[in-house]
């Protein structure tokens, strides 16, 4: 019975994973077309991001204090 619960938890975690996008994919996305210049600076070429991570990075970038 415990193994059945464990399998259900694993399946649930797999289903909740969000798609991840490369920097190149994010730059080509229509969703982020107004922010392409900022994304080109913010995102790392070797890392993948979820939509939420990209939105958070943009929010942080635009709300930062200018020195």
In the numeric block, the tokens 């920097």 are attached to 23
Residue ranges of the domains in the chain? 18-67
pLDDT of the chain along its 67 residues, tens only? 555 555 555 555 555 789 999 999 999 999 999 999 999 999 999 999 999 999 999 999 999 998 8
The answer to whether the CB of 31 falls within 8 A of the CB of 58 is no
User: Does the model's pTM come out above 0.75?
Assistant: no
Q: How far apart are CA 31 and CA 27, in angstroms?
A: 9
- Report which DSSP code applies to 32: T
Q: How far apart are CA 24 and CA 21, in angstroms?
A: 8
């Amino acid at each position: 019975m415990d193994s059945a619960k464990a399998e259900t938890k694993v399946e649930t975690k797999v289903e909740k994973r969000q798609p991840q996008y490369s920097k190149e994919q994010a730059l080509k996305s229509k969703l982020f077309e107004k922010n392409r210049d900022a994304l080109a600076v913010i995102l790392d070429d070797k890392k993948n991001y979820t939509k939420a991570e990209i939105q958070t990075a943009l929010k942080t970038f635009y709300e930062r204090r200018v020195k």
